[in-house]
A and B are shown apart, each in its own frame.
Chain A
Amino acid sequence: MDNILETLKKLWLESGFMGFFASGGWKSLIMIAVALVLLYLGIKKKFEPLLLVGIAFGCLLTNLPGAGLYHMGMWDAYVHECPYDPVNDYALYNQAEERVYTQDEYYYYVAARACGRTGAQIEEHLETLHSEGGDISADFQTLVTSPEYDNSVAMSIDGSLVVELSFTDIAHLGGLLDILYIGVKAGIYPCLIFIGVGAMTDFGPLIANPKSFFLGAAAQFGVFFAFFGAVLLGFSGNEAASIGIIGGADGPTAIMTCMLLAPALLGPIAIAAYSYMALIPMIQPPIMRLLTTEKERSVKMEQLREVSKTEKIVFPILVAGFVILLLPSTAPLIGCLMFGNLLRETGVTERLSDVAQNALMNIVTLFLGISVGATTVAARFLTLNTIKIVVLGLIAFCFSTVGGLLVGKLMYKLSGGKINPLIGAAGVSAVPMAARVAQVEGQKANPSNFLLMHAMGPNVAGVIGSAIAAGFLIKVFGA
């Protein structure tokens, strides 16, 4: 009987439910509620459901105590350049519940690594100590005071040692979502998504009317406005740059920039970016009506010229070459975007274009959503900074719209009233939602107005503009 009770007690103590009663467990409950709200918005309100449902479910999974699918601490210890050979090494993870070594052995291991010992050498020494006995603390002291000791390997944070982990370590020790998150951390998913975006994008309207490019540039105003606002609110340069890029209204670009500059903010930034993109039909129209007159909104634009197939094939090659040479840090995003577009336009790679647009895009979206959602760990998400990010994200979106509209109005004046300024608002990317909003607003002012194709020009220019803005920020604030 005692055994049964003991077993039941053990089951209860080891269950995830106990986690809610542990220190800070209430935060997990709040995050589960947040996940349910996001699921509601994605499923019922159809807010970017393809990504938001995945993000919400990742948020739910990562905040279930004991699930062990994602380990925030492990990613805090991740380093790009592992100072030792991770393949032949013993990886360590010193979370209280997942420690491989005893604490003394762990400290010794870190110190020995910092002195350039290999994993095999350390293992051998530990076995010797274990079988023959010895003072491991004395050995540790000898190591940390030796001239070989390298602080870049073993850092002292709040008096405790932290091990630097590589992707191999994380793949070996991590949970399912840790492994999927490697695709975000390595910048693979955003780039693969950009191949799909490129394959789905028709740059024809932009080639037909290159002036639209300026509207795509103008609509990056919110990026830099929010960047400044974030610095004003006390964020560091890296964090402010990651927050500002929300104004680019381009999910993969925002994720890529944030992952490179401020990975700790990835969860709130991704959620803010995708939520506001879904809210574009609500955010933009009041600003459009405020900044334009009825007369301006009712302008009918001339039909665009026909773009030849050769132009469409040359365009992605030209843009990729030119923009990457100008700003090399845009290479992953612009390179993949234009590669996808080339697949679409060549006419001889239809199968690849089809895969990029459908199968690849869907698979990567699935992995991206759930692994970004996994970063919304309660301890990291439930902070004042999250609220600031949500507010700054909205400001970024609004001011990007303002920037596009103001330059649209300028073009309206310069062209003698031939350009409808509403298409400037479509420069915020968010393809094709922003272009549709311009079409709807234009048609409200003049039912015979068809702005969709004209708005698609600034819309796709916005994708290029936000990639350039991201490239600049990565260049300035990147390591």
Chain B
Amino acid sequence: MKLSEAAIDAVMGYAIVFLGIALLVIVVVLMGKLMAAKKPAVVSPVAGTAPVPPIPEKEPEKAPGAAGELKLYDTPERDAAMIMAIVADELHTPINELRFISIREVNKK
């Protein structure tokens, strides 16, 4: 194989990868926008009917041992304790110097 041919193939191959990926990005972005548009919008109250008072979200239980500040959303206390310990260890900072506001499981299926 000639070097000039190899150089052309290499440049073209890299360009094709970028092109394929760029098209894929467009498709994925469009999919994201489509999904966002399909999310149910907040229903406005129908004229003439009394507005339904919003149901207050249940205040999550406050975890013990966090000076009453830490709020747990769908997270067991045991997991929360482990998460706080791991974060403190990773940051090389004593846990009593950190302030945890809330812990929420974001990837719940």
* Chain A residues in the interface with B (C-beta under 8 A): 204, 206-207, 210-211, 213-214, 216-218, 220-221, 223-225, 227-228, 231-232, 236-237, 240, 306, 308-311, 314-315, 318-319, 322-323, 326-327, 347, 443, 447-448, 461, 464-465, 468-469, 472-473, 476
Would you call B49 an interface residue if the criterion is a C-beta within 8 Å of the partner chain's C-beta atoms?
A: no
Contacting residues, chain B, for A218 (C-beta < 8 A): 18
Q: Which residue of the partner chain, among B28, B32, B91, contacts A213 with CB atoms under 8 Å?
A: B28
A217 touches B18 (CB 8 A): yes
B55-104: which have CB < 8 Å to A? Answer: 90-93
Separation of A473 and B16 alpha carbons in the complex (Å) = 11
Q: With A236-B1, A310-B35, A315-B31 known to touch, is A468 a contact of B6 (CB < 8 Å)? A: no
User: Hey, what's the 0/1 contact readout for B24-42 against A, CB within 8 Å counting as 1?
Assistant: 1101110110010000000
User: Given the complex of chains A and B, what is the CA–CA distance between A210 and B27 in angstroms?
Assistant: 10
* Contact-residue bracket for chain B: 20 to 34
- Which B residue's beta carbon lies closest to that of A347? B109
B46 in the interface (beta carbon within 8 A): no
Question: Contacts A323-B20, A326-B20, A465-B17 given: A224-B107 contact, CB under 8 Å?
Answer: no
Cross-chain contact A240 with B1 (CB below 8 angstroms)? yes
Most chain A CB atoms below 10 A, which of B17, B18, B28: B17
For the A-B complex with A311-B31, A323-B24, A469-B13 known, give 15 more contacts whose Cβ atoms are closer than 8 Å.
A210-B29, A216-B21, A224-B14, A227-B6, A228-B3, A236-B1, A237-B1, A311-B32, A322-B24, A326-B23, A447-B90, A447-B91, A464-B24, A468-B20, A476-B9
CA distance A237 to B27 in the complex (A): 33
B31 lies within 8 A of A227 (CB) = no
Q: Interface on chain B toward A: helix, strand, loop, or mixed SS?
A: helix
| Bound CA span A330–B11, Å | 19
Question: Secondary structure at chain A's binding surface: helix, strand, loop or mixed?
Answer: helix
Selected from B21, B27, B93, the residue in CB contact (under 8 A) with A465 is B21
Q: Which residues of B contact A223 (CB under 8 A)?
A: 13-14
The answer on a CB contact under 8 Å between A327 and B91 is no
Complex Cα distance A447/B17, Å?
A: 35
Assembled-state Cα–Cα distance A22/B93 (Å): 65
Which A residues lie within 8 Å of B106 (CB)? Answer: 306
Q: In angstroms, how far is the closest chain A Cβ from the Cβ of B74?
A: 13
- Min C-beta distance of A444 to chain B, whole Å: 11
